[in-house]
Amino acid sequence: MSTTAPIVTGVDFIMLPTQDYAAAVEFYGTTLGLPHTADYGRMPGGEFQAGNLTLQLFEVAALGREFSALPFPLALQVDDVHAAQAELESRGVTFAPDLIDSGVCHMAFFKDPDGNALMLHHRYKPRDAG
């Protein structure tokens, strides 16, 4: 075990690539209901707040980068996966595969309009001390 202070103290933001910033704003702001905390104006990008993590959405072509969707899900914490999934389905979000109960958490998988992998997540048992 290290006795030195950690260099990294947290995660400030994650960048999610998009091909259509306006569609991303609609999805993250309206469909998911996340607060839209910044818009970059001249550049097609902005920020949404998900608890203590900022989601930065950016049209990567404006940076000269090739678009590639996030293949592994970003886990979005919710109080009740079943209820959140039902609400999002009523807003047109499609989930696949079926909800998973791992024995310690519930998970429901979906994608944003660009195909970025997302997940609703709720841990209902504490982490094992071992």
Q: Dump pLDDT digits (tens) for 30-87.
A: 999 999 999 999 999 999 999 999 999 999 999 999 999 999 999 999 999 999 999 9
Structural domain containing residue 89: 13-123
pTM listed for this prediction = 0.90
Domain assignment of residue 2, yes or no: no
In this structure, which amino acid lies at residue 15? M
**Residue 129 placed within a domain:** no
CATH number at residue 20: 3.10.180.10
The answer to whether the beta carbons of residues 71 and 112 sit under 8 Å apart is: no
Our count of domains for the chain comes to 1
